[in-house]
């Protein structure tokens, strides 16, 4: 059961009839799906083939953050008065968030099991293989919901494959700078994702980088940046995590600057702190941030690499936990004063872990 307590989505909108409608339907869909899926996922062995281990709380937090990221643009849409959000559309958006929060870290064979169960619970009919599914319908059973994105403006489920732009080769770029758009690279740009060993309170656990997946990255990044949620992408070596993320963040507008930190087994928390502090300036007595009028995106590559110390801690990750949860850190010299840090977004990547990193 999801307890809805003024999530980001509804701040400043609690009096609107559209928000009240969305909340009402979300509560209904929550009671229809959540407990049954949690029981199905955690109390049976039907879906235990996961890329990253997660708790029930982590999955529910991810669901609420995805709902925030998907509904907020619709509430603030420039044509929001003309954009009708009825029960069927809200249901479709909920299903999309539900699939990605519960199924993103599953391997392909278990995604199929989850997809079948969710479609059964929905009670919605599927369309023929040549037809376009609208709200109140589901795409043909030959395909998974993971293969689609619901676009409320069009009132239609769209295949990720149909959104892949044509590749145009740029001879002026080096080989290492080339990026061929795929399913995962498109998905990635619409979100931000994951929670590693420290169980960061406000992160989202999503691992879309599977063998035959390559579009979701853009979708994931864009969705999460909307609500300033930290993100971690998990995938095998060679699955283009780093290349895709770098390509995306380097194309942000001038409002954003970026800092890229490559972690290794020897990375220490003081190294991370000094690198971050080098990008900040003092804004007030105890508040620091990037240059006024800009935001800083920090990309942490191979975040799981730092060596575990004798106390079982990865110190650089412990510092990141403090920064993300408390929005600040202590000075390392002088009087150890607290420094509030503002206007930073976080993206991280790591290889598929062994259980020892969890």
Q: What's the pLDDT tens digit per position in 172-223?
A: 777 666 666 666 655 655 443 333 222 233 333 333 333 334 346 667 777 7
> Among residues 256, 196, 195, which one has the least CA distance to residue 225?
256
| Rounded mean pLDDT, 146-151 | 88
Tokens of 153: 């403006």
Q: pTM (2 decimals)?
A: 0.74
Please give the pLDDT value at position 319. 96
Instruction: Return d(Cα 52, Cα 32) in angstroms, integer.
Output: 26
Q: Identical fold at 8-163 and 183-357? A: no
Tell me the H-state helices in the chain.
Answer: 17-42, 56-75, 87-103, 108-122, 183-188, 217-226, 241-249, 269-277, 315-326
CB 19 within 8 A of CB 96: no
Instruction: Return d(Cα 179, Cα 247) in angstroms, integer.
Output: 8
- Distances in Å between the Cα of 42 and the Cα atoms of 37, 190, 195, 226, 313 are 8, 28, 18, 31, 27
Superfamily of domain 8-163: Dynein motor, AAA2 domain, small subdomain (1.10.472.130)
Please give the pLDDT value at position 315. 94
| Rounded mean pLDDT, 269-290 | 95
- Break the chain into its structural domains and give their ranges: 8-163, 183-357
Q: What's the pLDDT tens digit per position in 319-338?
A: 999 999 999 999 998 889 99
Host H or E run for residue 323: helix 315-326
For tokens 């931000």, the residue is 192
The CATH label, of 3.40.50.300, 3.30.9.10, 3.40.50.1980, 3.40.50.1100, for the domain at 183-357 is 3.40.50.300
């Amino acid at each position: 059961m999801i307890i809805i307590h003024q999530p980001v989505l509804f701040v400043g909108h609690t009096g609107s009839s559209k928000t009240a409608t969305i909340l009402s339907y979300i509560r209904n869909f929550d009671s229809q799906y959540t407990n049954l899926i949690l029981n199905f996922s955690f109390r049976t062995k039907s879906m235990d083939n996961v890329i990253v281990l997660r708790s029930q709380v982590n999955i529910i937090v991810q669901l609420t953050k995805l709902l925030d990221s998907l509904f907020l643009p619709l509430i603030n849409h420039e044509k929001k008065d003309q954009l009708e959000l009825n029960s069927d559309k809200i249901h479709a958006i909920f299903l999309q968030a539900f699939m990605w929060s519960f199924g993103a870290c599953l391997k392909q064979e278990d995604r199929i099991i989850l997809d079948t169960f969710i479609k059964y619970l929905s009670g919605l009919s599927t369309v023929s293989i040549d037809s376009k599914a609208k709200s109140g319908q589901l795409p043909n059973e030959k395909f998974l919901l993971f293969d689609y994105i619901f676009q409320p403006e069009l009132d239609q489920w769209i295949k990720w494959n149909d959104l892949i732009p044509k590749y145009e080769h740029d001879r002026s770029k080096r080989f290492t700078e080339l990026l061929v758009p795929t399913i995962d690279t498109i998905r990635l740009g619409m979100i931000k994702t994951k929670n590693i060993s420290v169980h960061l309170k406000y992160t989202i656990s999503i691992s879309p980088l599977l063998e035959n997946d390559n579009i979701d990255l853009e979708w994931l990044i864009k969705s999460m940046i909307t609500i300033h949620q930290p993100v971690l992408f998990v995938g095998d070596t060679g699955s283009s995590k780093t290349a895709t993320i770098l390509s995306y963040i380097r194309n942000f507008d001038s409002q954003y600057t970026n800092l890229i930190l490559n972690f290794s087994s020897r990375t220490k928390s003081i190294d991370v702190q000094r690198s971050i502090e080098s990008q900040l300036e003092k804004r007030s007595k105890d508040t620091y941030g990037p240059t006024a009028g800009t935001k800083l995106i920090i990309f942490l590559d191979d975040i799981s690499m730092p060596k575990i110390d004798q106390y079982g801690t990865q110190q650089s990750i412990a510092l990141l936990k403090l920064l993300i949860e408390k929005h600040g850190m202590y000075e390392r010299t002088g009087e150890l004063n607290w420094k509030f840090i503002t206007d930073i977004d976080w993206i991280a990547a790591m290889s598929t872990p062994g259980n020892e990193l969890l």
